[in-house]
Structure 1
Amino acid sequence: MRRLVAVDWGTSSLRGALIESDGQVLEERSFARGILSVPAGEFPSVFESCFGAWMAPGTLCLISGMAGSQQGWREAPYCACPAGFGDIAAQLEWVEPGRIAIVPGLSVDSGGVPDVMRGEETQVFGALQLLGLDNTRLVLPGTHSKWVTVIDRRVTDFSTWMTGELYALLRQHSILARTLPAGDPAPDASAFDQGVGHALRGPGLLNTAFSTRTLSLFKRLPTDALPSYLSGLLIGEELKAQTLQRGESVVVMGAEALTARYEQALAQLGVSVQRVGAGATWRGLRAIADTLTIA
């Protein structure tokens, strides 16, 4: 097994880790050099300036995320689900054969409508390694949340939910924006729970979202509690669509504050949570590299 430079190259950020053959992370680096900041043709030079010192002879580099999109370094075609470590390793897009490769994203077709992910698949595979799981459901909350089903260590299905983006749109550009505070007050756990509960019981977001305004109008929620309430409504709506069963367990991955909110919301459904941090990306890329070496 070779020393690995693991890179997560997203839309707005670039981070990497130097990983020993035994999986030990030797060093990490982060840069504000997402793909949108890199002019066409300059990906090699940006990579060299950020990680060139790590690329000693015999070192392998695997890059996940939006570097493999049409706007990235080189397009890496999506790998169709169901897919596991071996499928991903077999479809790497080699920038420099045997030295630098881009990990493909995943695609799935549900009822004739495609869905895609790029970067999250590496986090999922890393979580399987970290938690020792073969079968599980995972949620990766964020601007576009991903719900993922894994069976026999293969991603069999997933779906995308625009929860974070819709929150931002309602927060900034809807009639609700006139009621909500301009700044970001401290989270209100009680208001968040109230929003989750109303979403779970209500007929749907097109109806329940307006309650953010009316609860303020009738002074049943203070202004500073409204963002937490709206967040609860949206996350509750997302959870309601997942047909979760009481007693089920879900793996939640992402930023600590956001995963804590999902854990709080899932508790209303009697669903337990295992949380995984940012290290899952490095573990996933290491696992893909090891599969490639074995192959």
Structure 2
Amino acid sequence: MSFVALDWGTTSLRGALLAEDGRVLEERSAPRGILHLDGASFAEVFEAFTLDWMAVPGRRCLIAGMAGSRQGWVEAPYCACPCGAEDIAQQVVPVVPGRIDMVPGLVDHQSGVPDVMRGEETQILGAMRLTGLREGLFVLPGTHNKWARMADGRVTGFRTFMTGEFYALLSQQSILARTLQADAPLVRQAFLDGVDRARRADSPGLLHLAFGMRALSLFDRLAPAAAASYLSGLLIGDELRAQPLQPGVPVVLVGSPTLTERYALALDSVGVPARLLDAQATWAGAHALWRARQAVG
């Protein structure tokens, strides 16, 4: 029997009707994230978004993402790492028993400070299914980037970096906003210059390098059209400094092509190959959880 999978995030709501074998039969999306309900309840938004899909008797829905957070529809407690599809499936929370289920997020306590994710766990499971890999480093670029470590088909741990949010803050609200063109297309060399400068062993640190952009602009050494790429390179390069990368050992990138292509470019500059996946990973992960959910009852 086909089922409905939703990726209900902070700003957007995406859905897919999936066949029993995982094929995507239909997709849709709407700007109705958990912070954009416009006065409607979660149940009302859900019914309007899935009306025709869920009209089929006995059809069920699996929801992942921020809809399962404390600010969401129903809070689904975090599943502690290490965990795999079966562990997550066992902690799925019923929203409407027998009809709608909420996927829990993941928590990693290993550093002493909790790290959490919601929604990315489904993408990671999908990426494993699509690539056939059961171990390695899986990277999910976004507002809050996730670097997840996999072993034997389970997420053993992960770390989150606020790279995307810092880029938005610096490019829109800091003094650097006056010297860059935020919507400029990628300038490859400027981006790689930023990556290289941030990754150097003798790097003075991101805070100093960011101010250096101001000085470079004052002396006409960094054009506004290239400055956004340079800033992006600085931030991603600084992020790469903290990763256990090994030349020649590939990583898996999951996310929008705009972001994954930049990370692939940065990784290639240090000799690390990458495999790129997009939204298909979400639905592949939802199918993996659906099958695991059926197995555990």
For normalisation by structure 1, the TM-score amounts to: 0.96
Equivalent residue, structure 2, for 1:273: 274
Alignment of 1:75-94 (within 5 A): 75-94=75-94
Alignment-derived partner of residue 53 in structure 2 = 54
Asked if 2 retains the 8 angstrom alpha-carbon contact of 1:3 and 1:58, the reply is: no
Cα deviation code 1:55-101 (max 9, x no counterpart): 21222210000110111111001111111000111000101222210
- In structure 2, the residue matched to 1:179 is 179
> In 2, distance between residues paired with 1:235 and 1:244?
14
Q: Secondary structure at the match of 2:71?
A: coil
* Secondary structure of the structure 2 residue equivalent to 1:35: coil
The amino acid that maps onto 1:86 is E
Aligned counterpart, 1:291: 292
**Counterpart in 1 of 2:29?**
30
Alpha-carbon deviation of 1:179? 2.0
Indicate whether 1:13 and 2:28 are aligned. Answer: no
Displacement after TM superposition at 1:214 (Å): 1.8
Kindly report which structure 2 residues correspond to 1:178-257, keeping only aligned pairs within 5 A, or say none: 178-181=178-181, 183-201=182-200, 202-257=203-258
Partner of 1:138: 138
Conserved? CA contact 2:194–2:234, under 8 Å? yes
Q: Distance in 2 between matches of 1:100 and 1:190?
A: 48
Provide the identity percentage: 57
Pair 281,206 (structure 1): closer, same or farther in 2 beyond 3 Å: same
Q: Is residue 144–residue 164 contact of structure 2 (8 Å, CA) maintained in 1?
A: yes
Tell me the secondary structure at the aligned position of residue 114 of structure 2: strand
> How many Å apart are 1:39 and its aligned residue?
6.3
Number of residue pairs the alignment of both structures matches: 293
**CA 256–111 in structure 1, closer or farther in 2 if over 3 Å, else same:** closer
Q: In the alignment, what sits opposite 2:73?
A: 73
CA RMSD in angstroms, aligned pairs only: 1.3
Where do 5+ consecutive residues of structure 2 fail to align?
none
CA distance in 2, matches of 1:265, 1:109: 29
CA distance in 2, matches of 1:285, 1:131: 15
C-alpha distance in 2 between matches for 1:32 and 1:246: 40
**Residues 198 and 107 of structure 1: CA distance in aligned 2, closer, same or farther (over 3 Å):** same
Q: Is the 8 A contact 1:122 1:284 kept in 2?
A: yes
State the alpha-carbon separation in 2 of the partners of residues 232 and 28 from structure 1: 34
Distance 1:239 1:33 in 2: 33
Aligned AA (2:34): I
Gaps of 5+ in 1: none
d(CA) in 2 for partners of 1:24, 1:244: 34
Distance 1:24 1:227 in 2: 39
Pair 1:125-2:103 in alignment: no
Report the counterpart of residue 258 of structure 1 in structure 2.
Answer: 259
Give the partner amino acid of 2:144.
Answer: H
1:243, distance to aligned residue in structure 2 (A): 2.7
CA distance in 1, matches of 2:269, 2:21: 40
1:180 to partner: Cα distance: 2.0
TM-score normalised per structure 2: 0.95
Go from structure 1 to structure 2 and tell me whether the alpha carbon gap of 1:114 and 1:40 turns closer, same or farther (over 3 Å shift).
Answer: farther
Alignment partners' CA distance in 2, 1:41 and 1:85: 32
Q: Which residue identity lines up with residue 33 of structure 2 in the other structure?
A: G
8 Å Cα contact 2:180-2:223 kept in structure 1: no
Cα drift, residue 136 of structure 1: 1.5
Amino acid at match of 1:174: S
